Structure 1
Amino acid sequence: MGTVTPFPLAPGRPSQVGFERLELNRILDLYGRMVAAGHWRDYAMDLGREAAVFAAFRRTAERPEFRIEKRPALRARQGMWALIGEHGAIVKRGHELGPVLAPVERRLLKLVEG
């Protein structure tokens, strides 16, 4: 009863991609401000082998307005962060999370001012 058996993992490859605490804090801060502005109402997260995805919804029963994806395999190429729009088009891609979230932050400023 006192024996712990670890799950077998592929050597050198993580079993799941996830968000670090600071990354998730930044994403949830933006989500909270969009909820306060009355624009977003729900979110979902998918933590898989290839990518971690945060999806933000205007309403629960539709496609997400934006998906924020972290794909570490693309770190050396276009950057591991991507902001993907409602219809699947890449809005912004980069190596850092802040500039990738900038289009949503600009939209938030328009929502609050207007």
Structure 2
Amino acid sequence: MTDQSPIPMHPSPSPSQIAFHRTELSVILSLYGRMVAAGEWRDYGISCLREVAVFSIFKRTAENPLYRIEKRPKLRMKQGQYAVIGVNGQVLKRGNDLRAVLRVLERKLIRAIN
């Protein structure tokens, strides 16, 4: 007798990659535009991976990113799905409200203008 466990015909749908929604990108790009105007940032990159979407911010092209804004939906019920991560990998802010998480970078804009 062989033990055959049933194989589901329709596996649960899981997204092949995580991406930022248009409203999320609008909030991020608004801050990005202000920082570019202040001369603090110069370039960005977006990566959409299986578990995380990343918006990377650069001072100069071809450098390591100054900051990474990450979206990890699996952390929604734990630490929060959004995070701002610094150049050395330290988490600067984490939460479920993107605008609140980005405030850590807004403070840097205020310092840059003064």
Matched, 1:100 2:101: yes
- CA 1:53/1:10 → structure 2, altered by over 3 Å: closer, same or farther? farther
Instruction: Give the letter aligned to residue 83 of structure 1.
Output: V
**Structure of larger gyration radius:** 2
User: Deviation string for 1:76-105 (max 9, x for gaps)?
Assistant: 100000000001111111011011101100
Residues matched between the structures, number: 105
> Could you tell me how far apart the structure 2 residues matched to 1:93 and 1:10 are?
32
Which residue number in structure 1 is paired with residue 31 of structure 2?
30
AA in 2 matched with 1:22 = T
Question: TM-score w.r.t. structure 2 length?
Answer: 0.88
Pair 1:111–1:10, CA change in 2 (3 A): farther
**Unaligned stretches of 5+ residues in structure 1:** 1-8
TM-score by structure 1 length?
0.88
Aligned to 1:89: 90
- Alpha-carbon RMSD: 1.3
Which residue of 2 is the match for residue 4 of structure 1?
none
The CA deviation at 1:12 is 2.3
% identical equivalent positions:
53
